[in-house]
Every structure is written in C-alpha cells, then in structure tokens.
Amino acid sequence: MNILKGLLASAAILVPAIAMAEGETVGFSQIGSESGWRAAETTVTKQQAEERGITLKFADAQQKQENQIKAIRGFVAQGVDAILLAPVVATGWEEVLEEAKDADIPVILLDRNIDAPEDLYMTAVTSDQVHEGMVAGNWLKEAVAGEDCSVVELQGTTGSSPAIARKKGFEEAIADAPNIKITRSQTGDFTRAQGKVVMESFLKSEGGANICALYAHNDDMAVGAIQAIKEAGLKPGEDIKIVSIDSVPDIHLAMKAGEANATVELTPNMAGPAFDVLAAYWKDGTMPAKWIQTESKLYTSDDDNAAIYESKKDLGY
C-alpha cells in the first residue's frame, strides 16, 4: 500500500510536466460491449479525443466492476490527467475513487450515475431519461392534435432504470391529454426479437385498427415492431404512429422509408461535454456543476434521415 501511495505521489508530481509537454492523457474505463449504443459511445469518445489532441487510454471491462476498478487503479498508477468512467453498477466505487482523488486525478462519470459522495468525482455527464420519455410524449401529443389515440407501449427490461424513467416521463407528458391512453404495456426486453413478438400479440389482442400509436422505450424494439406491423398488413408510420428513443441508425432508415415517425436521441457523445469540462478545468481550474445533462434531441420524418443515417452508420451501433 505504501509503495502504491509512493507511486501515486510521484505520478502526481510528474503529471503536470508531462501534460505541458505533449497534450493530456485521459483514461477511459468502458463497461464493455453490451449494446450497439455503447459501441458507438466508444467510437465517438475516441474520435472526440483525437480531435482535441488528447491521448486516450481505453480499457474494456467486459461488464465486470472488478475490471473497472483494476483499470482505474492502472490509470492512477500511470498518472493520467483525468479518468472517464462509464460505471457498470451504481455502488462500490468509494475506495477506488478515493485513490484517484488522493492522486489529484479528476474523474468524470459518463452516461450513468453512482451512489457515492459527490466530492469523489468531478461531474457526471448523463442524459435525463425521464426527460427523454417526456420529449416522446410531447411529440405524440402534438402529432395527434387532440384526437383520440390509444397507445401501446413496449417497455424496456423490467426493473431497469431506463425502462422505469422512460415510462414515467412519457406518462407525465400525456397526463394532461385525456385523448391519449396507454391501452397495452408489455416488456420487449430492449431487443428487436422480443419487440416483434410482443407487437404481434398487441396487434391481435387490441386489433390493429384500434392501435393509434406505438411508444417503444428503445429503437431496436420499434424496429422489431415495425416488421410485425408490416406482416399484419398494416402500414407502420401511417396506420400506427411510431415514436421511440435512442436514435440508432436503423430507425433513421425506417423513418426515411416513412415507417417510423419520431425518435429521441440518446447521444453517444458523452465524452465531448466531458472533455470541454476538462479543458476549462485545466485552463483555469473551473469546477463544473455536478451534473451535465446531454441534449435529448427529437428527430422526426421532417429531418434529413438519409444524412443522419450516413453519419451514424459507421459509429459501431
């Protein structure tokens, strides 16, 4: 332990000198490859670092917290200038973040928050998932313009925080619109396959003609549901309006074809705002707020979906 402390101390002394010499080094502990969105986040983070001349040290934790803790210890020992952490779980970070703090290395959380004292990290860059649901709900309110509309909902994995938050946000948005009602709500496990299966069941139990809109907690389930709607002989996007969240490339392809209506972006660019914050901190020591909310941008069929698809398709979604 003493050796480690010694190492940390020497690293802390050496760091500024290195930083002055050749651009900053930032360690990034990524969760692993759990979804296409996360792959895109990794790609964008690397791009952002390159644009700013930051050397990025990347560590893939393969969905294990102990790997992330090891990676952070490694970054501290290497004396990086800052650490980006996409935490796989919310708890158990105090000790390792304490070590980073002792070494004066700022830690920025990406896309998820943790249960730890706020002084252990510089800031958290996340989207507000309740807000995402509200953006989707508000779009639907405008789209139906007061007409009666029964909505079927494809929820995310039961009990997961995005599923709970996105459901809540949507319900809050349509609370003051008595014309919009959620008639069926089931989990599609955030996957295409299950989204399709559950939509098939909705189409039969409700009757395709009685469904006015589909709200899916992510685009993948919406893509699956679109196929189910087509196989039932209905026109997705016209007979049934489709709004979902994430803005993955394939939903833009569907929107271009008129088969989906709107999506709310969960931006993979969490690192950009984080690097901005770091640049300000390195320049004159400005401390940011404890939470930086990323923009939940709404894309509809009015946008140039072909161009958006082209810009997103190589990000690794």
The CA-atom distances, in angstroms, between 61 and each of 68, 94, 115, 271, 281 are 5, 18, 19, 18, 27
Phi, psi of 102 (to 5 degrees): -60, -30
Which residue is it, tokens 């309740």?
A: 130
* Candidates 117-125, 185-193, 264-272, 291-299; binding stretch for another protein (CB under 8 A): 185-193
Shortest Cβ 177–another protein spacing (Å):
22
Cβ proximity to another protein, 96 vs 315, nearer residue: 315
Contact 233, 173 (CB under 8 A): no
**186 counts as binding another protein under rule CB under 8 A:** yes
Question: According to CB under 8 A, which one of 204, 235, 290, 297 is a site residue for another protein?
Answer: 204
**232 counts as binding another protein under rule CB under 8 A:** yes
**164 counts as binding another protein under rule CB under 8 A:** no
Shortest Cβ 69–another protein spacing (Å):
22
Q: Report how far apart the first and last C-alpha atoms of the chain are (Å, whole number).
A: 41
Question: According to CB under 8 A, which one of 192, 217, 241, 252 is a site residue for another protein?
Answer: 192
Footprint of another protein on residues 235-294 (CB under 8 A)? Answer: 250
Evaluate the CA torsion angle 182, 149, 216, 86 in order and state its sign: negative
How far is Cα 73 from Cα 76, in angstroms, rounded to an integer?
A: 5
How far is Cα 126 from Cα 110, in angstroms, rounded to an integer?
A: 6
Question: According to CB under 8 A, which one of 200, 239, 276, 303 is a site residue for another protein?
Answer: 200
**305 counts as binding another protein under rule CB under 8 A:** no
**209 counts as binding another protein under rule CB under 8 A:** no
Shortest Cβ 127–another protein spacing (Å):
21
Greatest alpha-carbon pair distance for the chain in Å reads: 71
Shortest Cβ 39–another protein spacing (Å):
5
Cβ proximity to another protein, 173 vs 221, nearer residue: 221
Both tokens of residue 170? Answer: 């949507």
The CA-atom distances, in angstroms, between 253 and each of 228, 229, 248, 311 are 17, 16, 9, 12
Q: Where are the alpha helices (DSSP H) in 91-203?
A: 94-102, 129-144, 161-174, 192-202
Shortest Cβ 77–another protein spacing (Å):
28
Question: According to CB under 8 A, which one of 191, 276, 300, 303 is a site residue for another protein?
Answer: 191
CA-only gyration radius of the chain, Å: 22
Cβ proximity to another protein, 203 vs 274, nearer residue: 203
- How far does CA 13 lie from the centroid of its chain? 36
How far is Cα 122 from Cα 244, in angstroms, rounded to an integer?
A: 32
Question: According to CB under 8 A, which one of 13, 90, 193, 279 is a site residue for another protein?
Answer: 193
Q: Quote the strand ranges of the chain, DSSP E.
A: 25-30, 55-60, 82-85, 107-110, 123-126, 149-155, 180-187, 213-216, 241-246, 262-265, 291-293, 298-300
Question: According to CB under 8 A, which one of 220, 246, 259, 265 is a site residue for another protein?
Answer: 220
**155 counts as binding another protein under rule CB under 8 A:** yes
Shortest Cβ 4–another protein spacing (Å):
32
**158 counts as binding another protein under rule CB under 8 A:** yes
* Candidates 121-129, 219-227, 264-272, 291-299; binding stretch for another protein (CB under 8 A): 219-227
DSSP 240: B
Contacting residues toward another protein, per CB under 8 A = 33-36, 38-39, 155, 158-159, 184-187, 189, 191-193, 196-198, 200-201, 204-205, 220, 223-224, 227, 231-233, 250, 316-317
